[in-house]
Structure 1
Amino acid sequence: MLTVKDLLDARGKHQFAMLRVETLEEAEAAAKAGVELLSIPPAMIHDRRFREAAPDCFAFPGDNFYEIGGTEDFLRWAMPLYKAGADGVYCSGSLRTVRELADHGIPVCGHVGLIPSKRTWTGGFKAVGKTLDMAQLVWRQVKALEEAGAFAVEIEVVPHSITQAIAEKTGLFLISMGAGAAGHAQYLFTDDVLGQNRGKVPRHAKRYADFASELDRLQALRVEAMGRFVRDVHEGDYPAPQYLVDCEAQVVEQFRDWLDGQ
């Protein structure tokens, strides 16, 4: 199983693949496919079946900071996750929170660039770092997280040339989501990889399958099968004799006689 030291030692030597998975089936598929790093819902780490499905993947449970709370809330959240086998935790909270988690020995992954939960500060859902002042902001975010004790950072939708320059100056493990090959891991959501999304797909997302069409086909099959069931019920064709159980006629007659005497 990968460790924090393994990831840091592999910087610049190996590109890791990372996916966000939402189900045990997705986690198992990712592990079988060779995905090394997984972002997972926090509850999944407490399910013993997760490690049966993905025994060797480096697992980051993660949630938005506003779902967890302040520093003390993060500590109470992270400790049971680490005890249950999390390899690290994602934290979009404050630097104080990152520092406290790191001080307690919890491997922390921060977030810079486009942080969806904080997008209002950088102009919405768009690239961060295309101007000098915004590139400087991304660097300051990275440096602050490094100084706070994080070992990794998700760098999201940052110009790849800026990511390259940052990678040359930081000791953090960079997880690139649409931020270029200078990241030490490339990160996508399973929904995007499988083509399950129906809305706007991010520019950096590459589809490798078309699950949306397959899900539409399955939904149509559900409706058709359920419709035939409804027709059978309404027309008296279900339940037919082969779907029923019965007993000896004598038992029925005795039971009726008994009911009449009640």
Structure 2
Amino acid sequence: MMRPRPTVADLRALKGRRQLTMLRYFSLDEAEAAEAAGIDVASVPLDLLARPRYREVAPSIFSMTGLTHLEAGRPDDYLRWAGEAMGKGADAVYCSGSLRTVEHLAREHIPVVGHVGLVPSRATWTGGFRAVGKTAETALRLYEEVKAYESAGAFAVEIEVVPAEVASAISDRVGILLWSMGSGPGCDAQYLFAEDILGANRGHVPRHAKVYRDFAAEFDRLQQERVAAFREFVTDVESGAYPENRHLVRMPPAELDAFLSGLDGRAAGRAAE
């Protein structure tokens, strides 16, 4: 029996009761696999989420989409975009903008997810792509930031690359959901990128990522097979091995004779003109 897709209220009711699973993925194949595997939450590009087949293959996954504040613009622009995203099937929107923007969206009942810790679009303010909250002072600032998101109306925040003890202590003291990316098991969801889980990431693999399969090697093998198949095709064309009779459409003999006679007659007539 198909499980029902959770609502925001359902997710909030699960705080402290169990760990949710969360993925970032980019294709219908990954969405279908996530559904079959029982993934709870996904972060999905809007162009994927808006495809008609998305909800066919992932009917029960709570799916959020988002833009950074640099992409979305002013609060009203963000609100307009968020409304369009919800209309295309999003269950929530990610917002890395200011608390004023978060509050602007939440006031219109848009389910909003914020971001604390290592936020790529704001990393210059926290020292670059490194852990955040390793001192008491910065950890307390994280707590205040999470509380500010909660007060602004966000129902969840992604907490990225924060010491596990800090994330757990904050989660215990707030009502907002904390979705952990590299911030330990004391939060409400564990969040990874599908490309890391599948071993398809050919760049930097984060410390918190766990690789379960080696798709990169399989992609390399398939590419070698692709090149080999194309070479065999080239060889067959050059040698005359392709096309074979089974690849061709043949005309009935009587029709062929009539066609060739008519063709010869027309050709002769044109030559005489």
Task: Give the TM interval when normalised to the shorter protein.
Answer: over 0.9
CA distance in 2, matches of 1:148, 1:228: 62
Q: 63-72 or 85-94, which moves further after superposition?
A: 63-72
Matches within 5 A, 1:1-262: 1-247=5-251, 248-250=255-257, 251-262=259-270
Amino acid at match of 1:20: R
Instruction: Pick closer, same or farther for the CA change 1:213–1:256 going to 2, 3 Å.
Output: farther
Deviations 1:43-96 (A, max 9, x none): 222222111111111111123332222212211111022123211111111211
Quick check: which has more Rg, 1 or 2?
2
Determine the C-alpha separation between the residues in 2 that align with 1:33 and 1:259: 67
Counterpart secondary structure, 2:43:
strand
Q: Which moved more, 1:57-66 or 1:206-215?
A: 57-66
2:261 counterpart letter in structure 1? E
Q: Give me the identity figure in percent.
A: 51
The verdict on how the C-alpha distance between 1:119 and 1:246 changes in structure 2, with shifts beyond 3 A counting, is: same
| Cα distance in structure 1, aligned partners of 2:33 and 2:201 | 18
RMSD between aligned residues: 1.4
When residues 249 and 89 of structure 1 are mapped into structure 2, their CA distance, relative to the original with a 3 A threshold, is: same
Q: Tell me the amino acid that sits aligned with residue 260 of structure 2.
A: V
Task: Say if 1:70 and 1:93, in contact at 8 Å, map to a contact too.
Answer: no
Give runs of ≥4 in structure 1 deviating > 3 Å.
259-262
8 Å CA contact retained: 1:142, 1:153: yes
Q: What SS is found at the alignment partner of 1:198?
A: coil
- Distance across 2 between alignment mates of 1:88 and 1:134: 28
Q: Partner of 1:206: helix, strand, or coil?
A: coil
- Number of aligned residue pairs: give it: 262
Which deviates more from structure 2 when the two are superposed, residues 219-228 or residues 88-97?
Answer: 88-97
TM-score if structure 2 supplies the norm length? Answer: 0.91
In the superposition, relative to structure 1, how do residues 256 and 79 fare at CA in structure 2: closer, same or farther (>3 Å)? farther
CA deviation digits over 1:150-197, x for unaligned, max 9? 000000000000001111221111000000111100000000111111
The structural deviation recorded for 1:98 is 0.7
Q: CA deviation at 1:260?
A: 4.8
Shift of 1:137: 2.6
- TM-fit CA distance, 1:117: 1.6
1:256, distance to aligned residue in structure 2 (A)? 4.2
Amino acid at match of 1:31: E
Distance 1:256 1:115, change over 3 A: farther
The TM-score with structure 1 as length reference comes to 0.95
Contact 1:193 1:208 survives alignment (8 Å): yes
Distance 1:252 1:3 in 2: 71
Tell me, what secondary structure is at the counterpart of 2:130?
A: coil
Instruction: Determine the C-alpha separation between the residues in 1 that align with 2:158 and 2:179.
Output: 5
Distance apart, 1:259 and its partner CA: 4.5
